[in-house]
Structure 1
Amino acid sequence: MEQELLKIFDDNKKEVGVASRNEVHQIGYWHEVFHCWFVGRENDISYIYLQLRSPVKKDYPGLYDITAAGHLLADENVEDGVREIEEELGVKVNFRELVSLGVIDYIVTRESFIDKEIANVFLFKTNNRLEDFHLQKEEVAGMVKAKFSDFEALWKGKINQIKLSGFFVNEMGEKHLMEETVGKNRFVPHQEIFYQTVIEKIKDQL
């Protein structure tokens, strides 16, 4: 995976070539990614779905993250990113069913890891329930949902913790129900302005 080839861009977002995924994060090249947030409604309450990253992931193991996301390879376009949904979650979605939330650029830097992402962000208004997800265990260890209003309040600094409910998959591949109350430290450290921007864009579509 570290040798996957990605398109790279300069600071003006002009494409300048191709580099391996490892080089992209070591040197800090801008590169394209695909993000898809699932939001559904139950009993007139909107919920946002979050994946629990596998504990064996190199980056941010065991943290909660975007419902489905991944890098766009050098020979892929944005529409190809929809494959991430089926690969990670076992749910087949047509690209035409997605609502574009635009492109959001952001940077996360830690130690020798530089992540400069050009994120193509989408919303999927889902009718799926938690039992419909069949996870790629190498990538995703669980799936949870939170009230969208709580998720918004957390990232706007109005509350310090939110309740998540869902399931995790153990090493034997068995699903176990779970509930957890978490703060921001349990999420992948995307910039707070990134979370806030995505929340506002989703609200515009609900």
Structure 2
Amino acid sequence: MEDEILAIFDEHYNCIGSSPRKEVHKSGYWHETFHCWLVGREKQKNYLYFQLRSKTKKDFPDLLDITAAGHLLHNENISDGIREIKEELGISVCFDDLHGLGVFPYSIRHEDIIDREYANVFLYEHCFTHKDFLLQGEEVSGLYKIELESFAELISGCKTEILAEEFVSASADRVPSNIKSASLKHFVPHDPAYYEMVIGEVRKKWLQD
């Protein structure tokens, strides 16, 4: 994985070449990623779905993160990013059914990594049951749903803890069984502005529908 070749960009989103993933993160080159948020609506409430990263992950283990996300390789188009959904969650979706939110540039510094991303962000309104998912256990240990407005209050600081309900488990029977109390420390520390953008777009989506 560290030897994957990624396209690299300048601060104006101009491609300036390519480099191995390890070097990209070491040197802090801008690169492209694919983010897809599964969203749902139940009893007039909107939900975001978060993957729980495996405890064996090198970066941010056992934290709640974007439903499905990954790096785009140097020879891939944005639409190729849907492979991440299939690989991580085990469900097949059509790129044309995704709702694009645009490109969000942001960066995270973590230990010896400088992660500067041009994130191509999408929403997908799902209608699956937990039996439809087959999580990639070495990457994802569970899928949790969180009520959108509760998450918004957590990000804004109005709440310090919210409930996260397991929707599917990576265990053999995939039966959800856990409800956890989640604070900010339980989430990958993406830029709050990124989370706020996603929250705003989900709200807008259901106002328009």
- TM score, norm. by length of structure 1: 0.95
- Which amino acid letter does the alignment assign opposite residue 147 of structure 1? E
Q: Could you tell me the percent identity over the aligned residues?
A: 45
Q: Please say which of residues 173-182 and 98-107 is displaced more in the overlay.
A: 173-182
Secondary structure of the residue aligned to 1:204 is helix
How far is the alpha carbon of 1:65 from its aligned partner?
0.3
Cα distance, 1:144–1:84 mapped onto 2, change above 3 Å: same
- 1:169 correspondence with 2:170: yes
CA contact 1:9–1:29 (8 Å) conserved in 2: yes
- TM score, norm. by length of structure 2: 0.93
Secondary structure of the residue aligned to 2:201 is helix
CA–CA distance in structure 2, aligned partners of residues 129 and 103 of structure 1:
30
- 1:182 correspondence with 2:182: yes
CA–CA distance in structure 1, aligned partners of residues 48 and 190 of structure 2:
17
Structure 2 residue ranges without an equivalent (≥5): none
How far is the alpha carbon of 1:73 from its aligned partner?
0.6
CA contact 1:130–1:143 (8 Å) conserved in 2: no
- Which amino acid letter does the alignment assign opposite residue 72 of structure 2? L
CA RMSD of aligned residues (A): 1.3
Structure 1 residue ranges without an equivalent (≥5): none
CA–CA distance in structure 2, aligned partners of residues 112 and 158 of structure 1:
32
- 1:200 correspondence with 2:180: no
CA–CA distance in structure 2, aligned partners of residues 49 and 110 of structure 1:
24
Q: How many pairs were matched up?
A: 204
How far is the alpha carbon of 1:5 from its aligned partner?
0.5
| Equivalence for 2:55 | 55
Equivalent positions of 1:1-206 (< 5 A) are 1-166=1-166, 167-170=168-171, 173-175=172-174, 177-206=177-206
CA contact 1:28–1:114 (8 Å) conserved in 2: yes
